[in-house]
């Protein structure tokens, strides 16, 4: 046999001996109890009391020792929840009452400016336009001979709205005048939309002045 088997047999024999000794002790106790019951049969109340006590002893003899009560585990501490703060809700904004806009005051209609008469325009100061005071070139019999080819194209496109016939008709009328104020009066009456301060009008007027002094 190995060591474990031998040790187990020894443990069983030891337990068996202890059990036999316990049974012998119990038998002795039962004999004593039997004798007491026989001697006290005359006193039923005492016998009943003793019987209760003896039964308790007998039960105690056979009952296993009570196990020690298990320690009651203390409940784990519960973490307290943080109090929820009351956040103030924003108060609803109240739209301000609409302010009535003031009624616009009636604007008076603009009065048309009086148109200057051609006669008054001719009487303006000679310092108003450079083509009045600057000296023209050599005198010519026909205004056409005082106008170069490039200037002819420029005058037709800018001053006469690309109308060559109207340009020739204006030159024929200008050649029939005897003085320059007559020619200026004619141009201001028929072409009031011209910018008489512009360079192109200056060159055209200087060509006319070479014919009409």
Q: Looking at the domain assignment, is residue 83 inside a domain?
A: no
pTM: 0.42
Q: Looking at the domain assignment, is residue 45 inside a domain?
A: yes
Q: Looking at the domain assignment, is residue 145 inside a domain?
A: yes
Of 62, 88, 103, the position where a domain reaches its end is 62
Q: Looking at the domain assignment, is residue 119 inside a domain?
A: no
Q: Looking at the domain assignment, is residue 77 inside a domain?
A: no
Q: Looking at the domain assignment, is residue 104 inside a domain?
A: no
Domain span at residue 154 reads: 129-209
What total number of domains does the chain contain? 2
pLDDT per residue as tens, the chain (213 positions): 677 788 888 888 888 888 888 888 888 888 888 888 888 776 655 444 444 444 443 334 344 445 555 555 555 655 555 554 554 555 556 666 666 666 766 666 656 555 544 444 444 444 578 888 888 889 999 999 999 999 999 999 999 999 999 999 999 999 999 999 999 999 999 999 999 999 999 999 999 999 997
| 161-165 long-range Cβ contacts below 8 angstroms, 24+ apart | none
Of 62, 84, 112, the position where a domain reaches its end is 62
């Amino acid at each position: 046999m190995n060591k474990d088997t031998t040790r187990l047999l020894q443990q069983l024999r030891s337990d068996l001996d202890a059990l036999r000794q316990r049974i012998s002790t119990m038998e002795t106790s039962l004999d004593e109890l039997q004798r007491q019951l026989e001697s006290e049969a005359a006193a039923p109340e005492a016998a009943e009391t003793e019987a209760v006590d003896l039964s308790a002893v007998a039960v105690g003899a056979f009952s296993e020792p009570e196990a020690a009560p298990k320690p009651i585990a203390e409940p784990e501490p519960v973490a307290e929840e943080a109090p929820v703060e009351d956040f103030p809700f924003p108060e609803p904004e109240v739209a301000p009452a609409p302010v009535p806009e003031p009624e616009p005051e009636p604007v008076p209609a603009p009065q048309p400016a009086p148109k200057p008469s051609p006669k008054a325009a001719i009487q303006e100061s000679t310092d108003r336009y450079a083509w009045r005071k600057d000296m023209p070139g050599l005198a010519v019999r026909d205004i056409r001979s005082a106008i170069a080819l490039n200037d002819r194209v420029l005058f037709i496109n800018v001053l006469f709205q690309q109308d060559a016939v109207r340009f020739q008709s204006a030159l024929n009328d200008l050649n029939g005048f005897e003085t320059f104020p007559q020619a200026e009066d004619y141009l201001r009456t028929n072409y009031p939309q011209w910018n008489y301060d512009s360079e192109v009008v200056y060159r055209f007027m200087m060509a006319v002045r070479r014919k009409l002094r």
